[in-house]
């Protein structure tokens, strides 16, 4: 074999070896990518399941879990009227009377729930002052009457 033929043969062998090395490198990279993807899949599936569980928990908390409270419609209407006609009365006297006679209760809130006021089976959030809280209760009571109708 001549030197030229030898060089051509060596060049061809080098090319084939280089192509085989590149192919092995590509296959190794693909194997590594698949391994990484296989390792990620359970973590991503768990994260997806955790998010789904958190969403379901939030939805369950948003829905009322208790039966609606039965309210005395006439009593609620009378209390709404008293709240609406409170002008001219000392507001704290009205609040104290509602606490004594109507069972009005204030419930402290925590970091997850706002403080509430309940009277005659109707609850509302506490506001900046007793006047605004009573107005808020009257609005909640009107909504409760509409739902009960």
3-state class (DSSP) for residue 106: strand
CA distance 145 to 149: 6
Whether the full predicted model's pTM is greater than 0.95, yes or no, is: no
Per-residue pLDDT 10s for the chain (149 aa) are 677 777 778 788 888 888 888 888 888 888 888 887 777 777 777 777 777 776 666 555 555 444 555 789 999 999 999 999 887 678 888 889 999 999 999 888 777 778 899 999 999 988 888 888 999 999 999 999 999 87
122 CB burial (10 A radius; 0-12, 13-18, 19+):
buried
Identify the residue whose tokens are 């990518």. Answer: 33
């Amino acid at each position: 074999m001549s030197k030229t033929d030898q060089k051509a043969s060596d060049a061809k062998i080098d090319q084939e070896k280089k192509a085989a090395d590149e192919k092995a490198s590509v296959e190794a990279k693909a194997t590594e990518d698949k391994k990484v993807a296989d390792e990620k899949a359970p973590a991503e599936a768990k994260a997806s399941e955790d998010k789904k569980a958190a969403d379901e928990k939030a939805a369950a908390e948003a829905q009322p879990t208790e039966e609606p409270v039965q309210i005395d419609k006439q009593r609620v209407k009378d209390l709404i009227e008293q709240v609406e006609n409170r002008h001219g009365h000392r507001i704290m006297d009205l609040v104290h009377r509602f606490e004594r006679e109507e069972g009005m209760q204030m419930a402290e809130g925590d970091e997850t729930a706002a403080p509430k006021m309940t009277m005659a089976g109707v609850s509302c959030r506490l506001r900046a002052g007793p006047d605004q809280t009573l107005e808020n209760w009257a609005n909640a009571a009107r909504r409760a009457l509409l739902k009960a109708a």
